[in-house]
Amino acid sequence: MNILGMIDSQHDAAATADLYDDLWNDLREEDFAAYKSRLRKILPSSVYSGKICLDGGCGQGAISSMMSEKAKRLYSVDISRKALEITRKRLANPSNVVLKRASLLELPFENDYFDAVVSNGVIHHTTNPVKALSELERVLKRKKTIILGIYGKTGLIRYIIEAASFILKRVPYRIVKWVLEKAGFSPLSRYYVLDYIYVPIRKRFSIREITSMMKGFSCMEIKSDYPEGMINRIIYGTNYFYITAKKR
């Protein structure tokens, strides 16, 4: 067993949670509303309405807030206590939501438990994305829907982001955050910039790679909320994409 590797992985996972705790805590209600508006295009209410659902990695609570509006029962899971606190405050209907502190690598649910599973922007921040995806698949019922948000590998912006991260991550986080605040960046804009620069664990997947990891799924559909058009496809590519599928 590689003890040093395990310690490094645990440290990176904790540092990732701490970064997002700080970024999410800064978001204003108008930032939260704008983010939810984008997500509604990806997550139609038909996926979760009247169903028992999982938000795997609830983060700042946008997905959980949406799903709590119509879900029969929603379980919102995150490894961060702070994320669960933030999510609790933003729930549209807290009476039908159970908040649990847990890792996607070891979900505390029975096999084939959920009617719908959503995990937006989470598995690529785990130390073992294959295990995280396996766990999400395990708890989802057969013939039911999963929606994932994933960092992809194409688009000019991906390379700009990687270059900026390589250069700026050597500057202390608080200094760059202060500069962005003074430059007039909104909390949501700061969230996007600082996320890309400082997150310790960020893995990227091509569409072929992620679909090859999803052998237990069918009816796969790739979506994006980036602007349409050839130029935007060149700029954004699959820097971030969503995949909807059904468990076989």
> CA distances (Å), 9 to each of 12, 26, 106, 120, 125, in order?
5, 27, 15, 21, 11
DSSP 119: E
Of 244, 208, 193, residue with least CA distance to 223:
244
Residue type, 121: G
C-alpha torsion angle, residues 69, 70, 73, 79 (rounded to 10): -40
Do residues 117 and 146 make contact, with C-beta atoms less than 8 angstroms apart? Answer: yes
pLDDT of residue 33: 86
Residues 6 or more apart whose Cβ sits within 8 Å of residue 42: 147, 149, 223, 225, 242
What are the domain boundaries of the chain? Answer: 3-247
Residues 6 or more apart whose Cβ sits within 8 Å of residue 89: 61
- E-strand stretches of 72-178: 73-78, 97-101, 114-120, 140-151
Do residues 87 and 101 make contact, with C-beta atoms less than 8 angstroms apart? Answer: no
pLDDT of residue 10: 61
pLDDT in tens, 91-134: 988 999 999 999 999 999 999 999 999 999 999 999 999 999 99
Please give the CATH topology (third level) of the domain spanning 3-247: Rossmann fold (3.40.50)
Which tokens hold the place of 68?
Answer: 């709590």
What's the CA gap between 13 and 1, in Å, rounded? 19
The model's pTM: 0.90
pLDDT of residue 11: 60
Report residues of the chain scoring pLDDT below 50.
Answer: 1-8
Backbone angles phi, psi at 245, to 5 degrees: -155, 165
C-alpha torsion angle, residues 6, 12, 13, 18 (rounded to 10): 150
The H or E element containing residue 52 is: strand 52-56
What's the CA gap between 193 and 129, in Å, rounded? 23
At residue 60's C-alpha, the angle toward residues 10 and 127, to 5°, is 20
pLDDT of residue 4: 31
What's the CA gap between 63 and 76, in Å, rounded? 9
